[in-house]
Structure formats: structure tokens, C-alpha cells
Amino acid sequence: MRDRPAVAKPVQPDPAVRRILERTELEGVELIRFLYADHGGVIRGKAASRSRLAERLNTGIGHTVAMMAMNMLDQLQEVEHLGPVGEVRIVPDPSTYVPLPHAPGAAAMLSDLRLPDGSPWAACPRTFLKDAIALLAGEGYTLLAAFEPEFTLGRRLPDPSGGPDRLVPLDDSLCYAGHGFDTAHDYTIKLVRALETQGLRVEHYHPELGPGQQELTVRHAPALRAADNHVLYRETVRGVALRMSMWASLAPKPLADQAGNGAHLHLSLWRESRNLFDGDSGGEGAVRDWFVGGLLAHLPALTALTCGSVNSFRRLAPRMWAGAYAVHGPDNREAAVRICSPLGESGEPNLELKPSDSSANPYLALGAVIHAGLDGVRRRLDPGEAVDVDPDTRPGRYPRLPSSLTEALDALEADPVLMEALGPLRASAYLAVKRSEAAAFAARDASYELFQHMRAF
């Protein structure tokens, strides 16, 4: 007897997907942005309409492979396998769905770039971080992290002499000054609410050193979530400003003669429920030192990923509290690695990596940090002396970090651990994209560089 044709059973969507579909309906969301961060550090994506969402959650949205060869000036670089032929999918992670308060009617999901058959793609940055987290987990560790971003709030105005648009800061309030809270108040309240709505727990806020400079921090989270959070944070900082006819920039140095915008990276390493960066961590206290040893050993190369733009190196200079020397020290704000004293009972002992800013791709930055730290732990690398002075006051004694993107890229290319971790496709694309940016900005003046970075970040 011949089999009867099978009657297709209705597919039961997984509960996470069903919840998203219900929420878009309930919240009146029409467009769902599938976001990723590229090799230029720019956040990009495509949006699915509500009516196509059920299918797109499964298939992703089609995308050209070439976008991972695009630099922050939208100039496509020649990279083997990332040309006009080839296709990936922007596949959203259902656990990351958030409605966007600064873009009513829209929601966002953080996404992987996958091959059309659904398998991981060798140039996907989020996959790079996931793989690094899995490597850590294989050795029994979990990493918690938080970016501590600063940004400049103001208005984007045309240059009266016909040059590129300029960022004119909101105010000239002093650092931590009460007046600064008021000048930025309407914006910051909206920002806090928008972040909280997206599940980012706001910790602290203050007006910072430079004109219009703000610092608002969110609570730490497991590494992947921390990087996802930073993407949402960057989008929200800029989106809220835009809706208020303002302009916010997280560029490392949007105003050449003013304080830079860091995104210091706070880290703690855990085994089960024990924070191994706590001095008394059940006999594993040395792990923190080795992890720091790994960070410092790889730091010149690491800066190519954590300080990813030409503009980053205006900021990464001595006496800027940006950590321009490859040293560590307890509460030393000129050391690249500051060992932070914990804050109260809920504060966790953590490290702060200062050479880090928001022009980096957060997935690549955090993934590379994991590889560097883990290499230190595996090889039991000695971090050297704890430095308790400003290293810039001891000329020639401490190693200075790269002073340009080109120098940092040279260090990255010469670092076999990070190059192998990136893999050939990602490494060649990243180097091509970043070297093209270095060349493009070397050929132009400072106002062009400042404009392009405040536009992109």
C-alpha cells in the first residue's frame, strides 16, 4: 500500500518567538531592526515588518557578505571572499527583543550573521564573542562585564566657513557640577527611561569634564549581554538626542581640544559563584594577576580592537585618564588596567580596562579581551609591579601603548594569539577595513576626521 501524503502539522513556534510576536502586536511595533556591528565599529542592520517577522525570525534577512568589508566612510574594501558575490543572513537572537522608546513603532534585536544554511559565519563578530565565551566556559570560567561610556551632547551645526558640520556642545558646565545636571536634565531623564525600558539597569550619571560631556553607566552583565547592551546603549544615546533635535556622539574625541570619551571596560571573572578577582577567592587569587598579565602582554595589539578608530588615538594619550601605559595599579586612573576597589556590599571586585572606547566593535573588543586574559591565565603570566604613580611622571620606565591606529594594527598583525583567535577571514577583513580608514584620514585634515567620527559614533 502506498503511503498517504503526510498532512503538514502546524508548526508550533518556540515560546520565545511566540512572545515576540505577541509583543509586537500589543506594543504596536511595525518594524523590527535586526542589528549587528561591523568591522568599522558602525552599528548597522535591516528591519523586518511585523507581518514578515514570524518567518524572518527563522530565516533572518538576506545580506551581502561585502558589508563586512565596508569601512566607517562607507568605502568598500577589497577583501577576498567579501566581494559582490555571496550571501549571509542577519539572524536575530530572540532573547534580545526590545521595543525602542526613542523610535516609537520600532523594536530591535541583536543579530548574528549566518550562512544561508544557518551555520555560523567566519566573519560574524557576535559569533566571535560567543566562541570566546565558550572557550572560557570550557575552562570553568564566566566573565561579567560592563562598558562605562562617556559621550558628548550638543547640536550638529553647519560650519559657517563651509567645512564639515561641527558638534557644538550643549553647555560649558564644569565637571560633576550641579549646573551640568540641569542643562542636560530633560535629555538625561529621557535617556534613563529609554535604557531602563530596554532592560539596561542604569547605575550612575554625572556631567563630566568637557563641555557637553556626560557619563552614564549601566550595570554589569554576562559578557554577551554586556556587548549587546553596549550596542543598545549607543543606539539609544544617539536616538534620544535626535528626537530632541540634538546630537550626541560617543566618538573618542569629537572635540579635539577637550576631554575624550572613553568606554572603560569593567571585568570580573567567575568560577561558579566565586568572583576570582576578589582577593580572597578560595585559593585562586593568582588568576586575577595572570589575567592582568595576559591583558598587558597583548595590550598593544588589543588596542587595535578596543580603540578601533583613527580618532581613538587622539584620546589614548598620557594625562587624559585614558590609560596610555601598559601597566596596572590599584585605583590608578592613568594605568591601562585599574584594579578597582569595590563599592559597598553589592559591588564586585573588578578590573577596569581604560584603553577602550565606543568606536570599537564591542563584540570583537570583548572577545579579544577574553582571549588575551585567558592566554595570561593559561601561561601564568606575571603582570609585573603594581604601579602607584602616574606612569607619565617616570619617563622611559613604563611601556607606552600605540599612539596611532596604524601602530596598533601593526601590533595586532604581529600578535599570533589574537590573529589566530580572529581567524583568517575576520583578521584580513578587519585589517583591510582599518588600514583603509587610517589612509583615508591621513589624507585629510582634522576637521574631516572629527566630523566623520561624530557622524558614525
Point out which residues bind ligand GLU (CB under 6 A): 150, 259-260, 262, 315, 320-322, 333, 354
Q: How far apart are the C-alpha atoms of 259 and 215, rounded to whole Å?
A: 12
| Cα 233 to Cα 242: distance, rounded to the nearest angstrom | 14
Task: Taking the CA atoms of 118, 124, 130 and 131 in sequence, report the sign of the dihedral they define.
Answer: positive
Q: Which of residues 238 and 354 has its CB atom nearest to ligand GLU in the complex?
A: 354
Of ligand GLU, Mg ion, none, which one sits near residue 448, judging by CB under 5 to 8 A according to partner kind?
A: none
446 secondary structure, DSSP code: H
Rg (CA), the chain: 22
The secondary structure element, H or E, covering residue 179 is helix 178-183
**Cβ 38 vs Cβ 67: under 8 Å:** yes
Q: What does 143 interact with, of Mg ion, ligand GLU, none (CB < 5 to 8 A by kind)?
A: none
Q: Which one, 112 or 215, has the nearer CB to Mg ion?
A: 215
Which one of Mg ion, ligand GLU, none interacts with residue 41, CB within 5 to 8 A by kind?
Answer: none
φ, ψ at 347 (rounded to 5°): -75, 140
Contact criterion met (CB below 8 Å) for 307 and 324: no
Least distance from C-beta 262 to ligand GLU, angstroms? 3
In the complex, the smallest distance separating the C-beta of residue 125 from Mg ion, rounded to whole angstroms, is: 26
437 binds Mg ion (CB under 5 A): no
DSSP letters, 30-61, are: -EEEEEEE-TTS-EEEEEEEHHHHHHHHHH-E
**Among candidate residues 293, 100, 322, the one with its CA nearest the CA of residue 209:** 322
Shortest gap between Cβ of 150 and Mg ion (angstroms)?
5
From 108-116, 159-167, 212-220, 284-292, give the range in contact with Mg ion by CB under 5 A: 212-220
| Strand, coil or helix: 404 | coil
Choose from ligand GLU, Mg ion, none: what does 333 bind? Cβ within 5-8 Å by kind: ligand GLU
Q: How far is the CB of 148 from ligand GLU (least distance, A)?
A: 8
Residue owning grid cell 587569587: 285
Figure out which of the listed residues 38, 112, 215, 415 binds Mg ion, where binding follows CB under 5 A.
Answer: 215
Q: Which stretch binds Mg ion (CB under 5 A): 103-111, 117-125, 209-217, 333-341?
A: 209-217
Nearest-approach distance from CB 344 to ligand GLU, in angstroms:
19
In the complex, minimum distance from the CB of residue 254 to ligand GLU, in angstroms, rounded to a whole number: 12
Nearest-approach distance from CB 194 to ligand GLU, in angstroms: 23
Least distance (Å) between residue 333 CB and Mg ion: 9
| Beta strands 142-157 and 263-271, pairing class | antiparallel
352 contact choice in Mg ion, ligand GLU, none (CB below 5 to 8 Å, kind-dependent)? none
Q: Of 410, 417, 212, which is closest to residue 298 (Cα–Cα)?
A: 417
> Quick one: 151 or 441, whose CB is closer to Mg ion?
151
Q: Helix 50-59 vs helix 15-27: angle between axes, to the nearest 10 degrees?
A: 160
- Cβ-closest position to ligand GLU: 262
Task: Provide the minimum distance between the beta carbon of 343 and ligand GLU in the complex, in angstroms, as a whole number.
Answer: 15
- Residue 2 DSSP label: P
Which of the stretches 36-44, 207-215, 333-341, 378-386 binds Mg ion when contact is defined by CB under 5 A? 207-215
Judging by DSSP bridges, how do beta strands 335-340 and 325-330 pair with one another?
A: parallel
Q: Find which of Mg ion, ligand GLU, none residue 321 binds, CB within 5 to 8 Å per kind.
A: ligand GLU
Q: Nearer Cβ to ligand GLU, position 198 or 358?
A: 358
Q: Choose from Mg ion, ligand GLU, none: what does 334 bind? Cβ within 5-8 Å by kind.
A: none
Cα gap 298→265, rounded to integer Å: 16
> What is the helix, strand, coil percentage profile of the chain, to 5?
40, 25, 40
| SS3 label, residue 111 | strand
Which partner from the list Mg ion, ligand GLU, none does 299 bind, CB cut-off 5 to 8 Å by kind? none
**How far is residue 198's CA from residue 108's CA, in Å, rounded to a whole number?**
10
Residue 320: which of Mg ion, ligand GLU, none does it interact with, CB under 5 to 8 A by kind? ligand GLU
Which residues contact Mg ion by CB under 5 A?
Answer: 215
